[in-house]
Amino acid sequence: MLNTRNPIHSNMTRRAALALAALGAALLVGAASAPPAPAAAKLTAFVPAPLLAKAQADAKAKFSVIVQGVPGQRPEQAVDNATATDPGNARGWVRRLDLVNGGLAELTGKELIKLARTPGIAAITPDVLVRPSGF
């Protein structure tokens, strides 16, 4: 235990307290002046995990996908916007599929992720051959 009556101990205690206060103030000022970490934009569209992982792994790869819009909105314009701002080597919008309120598109991984963050897009799924399972 420190002897508070001893001037040496009391000076040490004050110095330690001042040093801790200065360190705490420096940490607070540093944290307050640091720029905030950029928040990753959340996906607003459903994208199957394997497709999303492949798109994130290779931004330049081409993906043939079905893009579906939310009810009342057609996704063609959103696809055109995603491909126009940073065009890759994919074709973009290919054709309309009225049955699913969407269409077929060929997008790069980067375009796919950008489109998945666009309001008005309900889902982006791989364009795969569908067969009847039998009756």
Distance, in Å, from the CA atom of 113 to the CA atom of 18, rounded to the nearest integer, reads 51
Task: Give yes or no: residues 115 and 91 share one domain.
Answer: yes
Task: Give yes or no: residues 30 and 65 share one domain.
Answer: no
Task: Give yes or no: residues 25 and 90 share one domain.
Answer: no
Task: Give yes or no: residues 60 and 19 share one domain.
Answer: no
Closest among 25, 22, 41 to 33, alpha carbons compared = 25
**Res 92: pLDDT:** 92
Q: Greatest CA span in the chain, whole angstroms?
A: 95
**Res 93: pLDDT:** 93
Task: Give yes or no: residues 111 and 71 share one domain.
Answer: yes
How many separate domains does the chain show? Answer: 2
Average pLDDT score, the chain = 79
Q: Is residue 64 part of a domain?
A: yes
CB 70 within 8 A of CB 122: yes
pLDDT in tens, 37-65: 334 568 899 999 999 999 999 999 999 99
Q: Is residue 43 part of a domain?
A: no
Task: Give yes or no: residues 98 and 62 share one domain.
Answer: yes
pLDDT in tens, 108-123: 999 999 999 999 999 9
Q: What is the mean pLDDT of residues 65-80?
A: 92
Classify burial at 112, counting beta carbons within 10 Å of its beta carbon; exposed 0-12, middle 13-18, buried 19 or more: buried
- Domain of 19, in residue numbers: 1-34
Task: Give yes or no: residues 77 and 103 share one domain.
Answer: yes
pTM for this entry = 0.67
Distance, in Å, from the CA atom of 74 to the CA atom of 93, rounded to the nearest integer, reads 12
CATH number (domain holding residue 71): 3.30.70
